[in-house]
Amino acid sequence: MEKDTKLAILIDGDNIPSKYIKEMMEEITKYGTPTIKRIYGDWTKPHLSKWKNILLENAITPIQQYGYTTGKNATDSAMIIDAMDILYSEKVNGFCLVSSDSDFTKLATRLREAGLVVYGIGEKKTPDPFIVACDKFIYLEILELEEDSSNGKQKEKKASIDKITPKVIRFLKHTVDDVADDDGWAFMGDVGTLILKKQPNFDARNFGFQKLTPLFKSLNQFEIEERDRSGGRFKLIYVRNKKK
């Protein structure tokens, strides 16, 4: 986590289930300090009642937005206007947009154009345009599965994780090649950075692994090498495509 990264957390209350709040807030702290935390919705509607009970304990400020016109999403408009106000206030240097709605694609693009980092969080139904508009996109289902696995609910986890297909393996091999040295070795940190640039929603947890290194180790197509780091107690991890 970047120590100086101050994040504005903007949640689409009409679009995100309240059951994810605990895991979601814990995940966000990995990337920065939540400085502004707001959730948007029409709080007169019964479907938001579950949110009301957990806002106070998570210090999230509810923003009331009435639906003035049938068929129009006033919540989206309120979030976008607030995001631009926060951008120009220069109080944060990053945003976390919590929604599965593609209407925030342009907002994410605009915030990144301004030089701010943008993290997206939403369900797996989130359309690709919003996902690729973010620097990194995290699926809420994966966060929930982490909590479930700690409670022994392994069956649900196995049914929900993505399969490592030949397409995924080709993607990983090409990425390793892109940052490899003349001997074919690539620093795992560089591989992870390029993976996110290419595919912001790529996450080892989607495939049942906590980190990228164990994911690579599980695949026969790659070699892993640990190298001593001068003056450091942690080893540097390198990966290489196995030669045929």
Per-residue pLDDT tens for 171-181? 999 999 999 99
234 C-beta neighbours (distance < 10 Å), count: 8
pLDDT digits (tens, 9 = 90+) for 30-70: 999 999 999 998 888 877 888 887 888 889 999 987 765 44
Residues 132 and 172 in one domain: no
Domain boundary among 109, 136, 157: 157
Q: Tell me the CATH number at 97.
A: 3.40.50.1010
Residues 228 and 207 in one domain: yes
The pTM of this model reads 0.84
Residues 17 and 103 in one domain: yes
Strands 222-227 and 186-187: unpaired
Domain boundary among 129, 157, 185: 157
Domain boundary among 102, 128, 157: 157
Residue 32 · residue 3 · CB < 8 Å: no
pLDDT digits (tens, 9 = 90+) for 73-108: 666 888 999 999 999 999 999 999 999 988 899 999
**Considering the domain boundaries, does residue 1 fall inside one?**
no
Residue 96 · residue 7 · CB < 8 Å: yes
Range of the domain at 183: 166-241
How many angstroms separate the CA atoms of 187 and 169, rounded? 18
